[in-house]
Amino acid sequence: MASPRRIDVHFHLIPPFYREAVYAAGTGPAIGNYPDWTPQLALDLMDAHGIEVALTSLAQPGVGFGSAASAQALARRCNDYAAELIARWPTRFGAFGTVPMWSRKGALEEIAYSLDVLKLDGVSLFASYGENFLGDPRFDPLLAMLNERGAVVFVHPGLHPSSKGLALPWPAFMMEYLFDTTRAAVNLIFSGAIERFPRVHFILPHAGGLAPYFAWRPSARSITSPCRSGSCSGPTIRSPIRASSPR
């Protein structure tokens, strides 16, 4: 049977220097340890599952651990590593750039480097940073730059602080990641971000969190709009957000 020639947009790369930096900082992936990862192992996995092209993004926890300087340097090294994979296997790999979020200046610099210099396929952002979800005005300068370039943004969930105090013993990725994605999607819509930045195309992994299952709720503007008095209306629901297949 012919290969289905899939394009996998949710494919994490784990460079050895990144694994070492994460472990040295006393952190790690969402659960357990990182699996063995090399370009050849990635290609073997792709071939076994009919994946023609993998668009890589950095695994958890990103580069937010450590200092601002170390995050900036690690993001640059990871982006260069991803670009090297593309140069060596141009028909098999693409990449979403890693963005360090310690400072606006640093984030904008790495977005420009990823898209304008390395010519990567887009960037990867987390659904939330600290207490704030994508769609918050503090992220507008980043979205403005991405909008200028008509960029693709791969939105990966993390563990929001509100999830950490729950009296549940289960690993966060089982449920909380889906909620993080969903809250970011709703905030992008109702903050008006997708109207202000219409050329940004968002990809939501894990089949879009819960968004596909309760899409009628955000569309009920008379219920969900912050302006319940009827003096103003909610945002127009459009479709720049794409949900990727479950993983």
Token pair for 26: 């006393």
pLDDT by residue for the chain (247 residues), tens only, comes to: 456 789 999 999 999 999 999 999 988 887 788 999 999 999 999 999 999 999 999 988 999 998 999 999 999 999 999 999 999 999 999 999 999 999 999 999 999 999 999 999 999 999 999 999 999 999 999 999 999 999 999 999 988 888 888 888 888 778 888 999 999 999 999 999 999 999 999 999 998 888 888 777 777 655 545 554 444 444 544 555 566 655 5
Query: What pLDDT shows up at residue 85?
Result: 98
The reported pTM is 0.87
Which runs of E-coded beta strand occur in 110-222? 122-126, 128-129, 132-133, 152-156, 201-204
The residues, any chain, with a CB within 8 Å of residue 117's CB and separated by 6 or more, are none
Task: Give domain limits for the chain.
Answer: 6-243
CATH code for residues 6-243: 3.20.20.140
Rg (CA), the chain: 18
- At 128 the pLDDT is 95
* Strand duo 122-126 + 201-204: pairing: unpaired
Q: Which of 179, 100, 183, 180 is nearest to 142 (CA)?
A: 100
| Exposure string over 207-233, b if 16+ CB within 10 A, otherwise e | bbbbbeeeeeebeeeeeebeeeeeeee
pLDDT at 237 (0 to 100): 47
Residue 49 pLDDT: 94
Q: According to the model, what pLDDT value does residue 232 have?
A: 44
Model pLDDT, residue 59: 84
Q: Nearest Cα to 129, choosing from 104, 155, 101, 107?
A: 101
Sequence-ordered list of residues with C-beta below 8 angstroms from that of 11, at least 6 positions apart, any chain: 42, 51, 54, 55, 56, 57
